[in-house]
Structure 1
Amino acid sequence: MSLKLAAVVLAGGEGRRMGGGKPLKPWRGGTLVSHALEKARGYAPRVAVAVRTPDQAGSLDAPSLTDPPDIAGPLAGLSSALAFAAEEGVDAVLTLPCDVPFAPADLAVRLAEALADDVGVAMAESRGRWHPTCALWRAGLDGALADYAAGGGRSLRGFAERAGLRLVDWGAAGPDPFANVNTPEDLARLDSH
């Protein structure tokens, strides 16, 4: 089965532990969000960036999606991503956070292989940890997400379990491709790799 995919970079977090403005932190000649956007372009032909406010991602050559104000956290970014998937008429949308600079090149391919008929979400896992923001979500989950959020649901992981989750394990060998940047120290440590 060949899926038509879109990819959305999640860049709507406040980044408090980074001192704010995480998406725009410098990273290897660009910013974290511009680097993530380039990765996203390697995964899918249609890409966008989901933000809480328009200034969070700066000026990028991609559509900017404003997260719904009535949904909190990364779930809001997923809501934006699913709306983008519907607009683009794709089968599934890959979410990728702006703070995972070493996401593996085979992320979209391996997740798409796991998205069987009975699976609504294929999610990355490494070293026994789930990575809910690095997942492929079947298009058409908008209504289920709205119901989940209206019922008090706030967790990507919780919604994924409801939607029919399959984990895809990247193992524990070598550096973790899903290591993320939460603090200035993380940024310096990962930039040295």
Structure 2
Amino acid sequence: MKCGSESIAVAVLAGGDGNRIGGRKPLRLLRGKSLVERAVAAARNWASDVVVVGRDAGQGGGTGATFLQDAPGADGPIAGLAAALRYAKDAGHGAVLAIPCDTPFLPLNLASRLSMAITPEAGAAIASSVLLHPSCGLWRARAFFALGPYLCAGRRSLHGFAESVGFVPVEWTSEPFDPFLNINTAADLAAAESLLGDASIDPTQFGRD
């Protein structure tokens, strides 16, 4: 997959504590497979260069993907995005697709629709399904240079950073279910288990092996 004529990397953001689900969220099992494994499998639909970003290597879950440490001096998803943008820039990629590890039903056309929607002027294209999902976005590698001033101003919001570099929202339907459903609690995990067992849902429409 490319962003225009430039290659992309995919970064799985796996640095969250997951306190509401009892901790170690990336390693929680969904139908016998960890959430981070599922995310990496989805990422490989979109790029050959896949990295997992987190606070410690244990969050990588033995997926075989390169592990990157969250950028120091930042907290939350933006610390993962900072590390991913630096990696993409240094590796010569034009953009990085960031996805969270806890969103197992990402649409299979995520990368293609975001790459088609991003304009030359925009720093990012961000997925939306009723609400904006700034942790699911295609970010131009050049956005790395805007990140330092943003963080130095004491700002940490991914949404705010997307606004600061300019972004294009890309809408997906939330029917028959929201493809950006993310898992924060045991109830969310149970709901995801139920969806995977629903024979009316076509599994080829979301990125997973």
Give the conservation status (yes or no) of the 8 Å contact 2:99–2:136.
Answer: yes
One-letter amino acid of the counterpart of residue 67, structure 1: D
Equivalent-residue separation in structure 2 for 1:165 and 1:140 (angstroms): 13
> Which residue of structure 2 aligns with residue 161 of structure 1?
163
Give the conservation status (yes or no) of the 8 Å contact 2:13–2:53.
Answer: yes
Equivalent-residue separation in structure 1 for 2:34 and 2:50 (angstroms): 17
> Which residue of structure 2 aligns with residue 117 of structure 1?
120
Give the conservation status (yes or no) of the 8 Å contact 1:3–1:112.
Answer: no
Equivalent-residue separation in structure 2 for 1:10 and 1:172 (angstroms): 22
Question: What is the correspondence of 1:169-180 to structure 2 with a 5 Å cutoff?
Answer: 169-180=171-182
Within the candidate set 120, 130, 153, 1:151 is matched to 153
Deviations 1:128-158 (A, max 9, x none): 2000110000012112111101110110000
Within the candidate set 142, 145, 150, 2:144 is matched to 142
One-letter amino acid of the counterpart of residue 22, structure 1: K
Question: What is the correspondence of 1:45-64 to structure 2 with a 5 Å cutoff?
Answer: 45-64=48-67
Deviations 1:60-107 (A, max 9, x none): 201000002311110001001101101221111000000000000000
Unaligned runs of 5+ in 2: 196-209
One-letter amino acid of the counterpart of residue 39, structure 1: A
Equivalent-residue separation in structure 1 for 2:21 and 2:155 (angstroms): 26
Equivalent-residue separation in structure 1 for 2:108 and 2:189 (angstroms): 20
Within the candidate set 26, 29, 40, 2:29 is matched to 26
Quote how far apart the aligned CAs of 1:164 are. Answer: 0.7
> Which residue of structure 1 aligns with residue 73 of structure 2?
70
Unaligned runs of 5+ in 1: none
Give the conservation status (yes or no) of the 8 Å contact 1:123–1:132.
Answer: yes
Give the conservation status (yes or no) of the 8 Å contact 2:119–2:168.
Answer: no
Q: What is the TM-score with the length of structure 2 in the denominator? A: 0.89
Give the conservation status (yes or no) of the 8 Å contact 1:15–1:21.
Answer: yes
Deviations 1:112-134 (A, max 9, x none): 001111111000000x2000110
One-letter amino acid of the counterpart of residue 174, structure 2: A
Identity across aligned pairs (percent)? Answer: 46
> Which residue of structure 2 aligns with residue 79 of structure 1?
82
One-letter amino acid of the counterpart of residue 78, structure 1: L
Instruction: Provide the aligned length of Structure 1 versus Structure 2.
Output: 192
Q: Structure 1 residue 37 and structure 2 residue 35: aligned?
A: no
Q: What is the TM-score with the length of structure 1 in the denominator? A: 0.96
Within the candidate set 132, 135, 154, 2:134 is matched to 132
One-letter amino acid of the counterpart of residue 131, structure 1: H
- Is the partner of 1:123 in helix, strand or coil? strand
Q: Structure 1 residue 15 and structure 2 residue 23: aligned?
A: no
